[in-house]
Amino acid sequence: MIDKYIERHYDFLLGLGVTPPQCATLREIARSHRRIDLSKTGGHIRSLGALLRLVDELDTYPSRAPAQVLLDNYKEMDATSCWHWFKNNICHEWMIDHNVIYQDRVLPRVQFKICVHPPRKESIPYWLNQIRRPLHRVLRDEWAGEIIRDSWGVDISVEMSSLLSSTVNFGEDWLDVERKATSAGRKTILVVDDEVRKMEDLFLGLMQTYHVIFAPNAQDAIDKLGAASIDLAIIDLQIGSGYRWDPEETQDFKMTGLKLCHEILTHFPSTKMGGGLTCEVQHVFG
């Protein structure tokens, strides 16, 4: 959008005193940030794009989304906006020698340790994973880690830190904000199946009425059960454990779903469980 704006309003920007080189730099930044495939380009644009994407995903901290504004307005916010504002507020800002560690080696390394401070201990793994996922996508799937290493000789690593994470009690309103952020204020269904794309299509018709979230393995399901109030869990029998259990414990993953059911019965007794699809939802919710 910035790229096209500059193209359409070039003369206007020049009239404001923005120089042609500055316009060219802004266009370059806009292209590098999202539009280009970093794996198929080279030179300065490739390096700039990698750095911009990493910095953008690291731009998560409380002062970006003031807590009082969130508390005053969350009831009118849509669930997606609420989720983003809440996520920013529970993140610990990046601090050298605390959650940002520089290691001076043959190949210098900068290590980012993600730490969060939600109101409930059970939701810490969920939020850690929500912040880690886009960072890993940029570093690995969009090649930013390799490009930064080649361009500047620095290795970037990201890890989740349960040790640095803790709960912070901002009161009952803060719990309400988290509930809305993770359930959109509706009955919530957790679908546990390793074929997530197929399940998304199958449950499309229910998404207007229910908040449907998906988990590809048992560990991800447990993380989401800890973070959100799940009304119904629909679980496939043969799923991966997400390294929660060894293959021997689940008969080579043939019984992972059953083991997950026992875990839910023990730790999340208010969550109903089923193995059907639409009919199971209608049976539980009427």
User: Domain residue spans in the chain?
Assistant: 1-35, 36-184, 186-285
> CA-to-CA distance for 239 and 155, rounded, in angstroms?
34
> CA-to-CA distance for 259 and 244, rounded, in angstroms?
11
Token pair, residue 264, equals: 């839910």
Output the pLDDT for position 228: 76
Output the pLDDT for position 277: 47
- List of the chain residues with pLDDT < 70: 1, 34, 185, 275-286
Output the pLDDT for position 145: 94
Contact by Cβ (8 Å): 102, 110: yes
Q: CB neighbours (10 Å) of residue 12?
A: 11
Contact by Cβ (8 Å): 111, 78: no
| Residues 6+ positions from 164 with CB-CB distance below 8 Å | 92, 98, 99, 113, 115
| First-to-last C-alpha distance (Å) of the chain | 45
Going by their DSSP bridges, the two strands 109-114 and 100-103 should be labelled as antiparallel
Identify any residues that bridge with 88 across adjacent strands, giving them in sequence order.
none
> CA-to-CA distance for 142 and 234, rounded, in angstroms?
33
Token pair, residue 60, equals: 């998560």
What tens digit of pLDDT does each residue of 175-224 get? Answer: 889 888 887 767 888 999 988 777 777 777 787 788 888 888 998 898 88
Structural class in CATH, domain 186-285:
alpha beta
Q: pTM (2 decimals)?
A: 0.69
> CA-to-CA distance for 22 and 113, rounded, in angstroms?
35
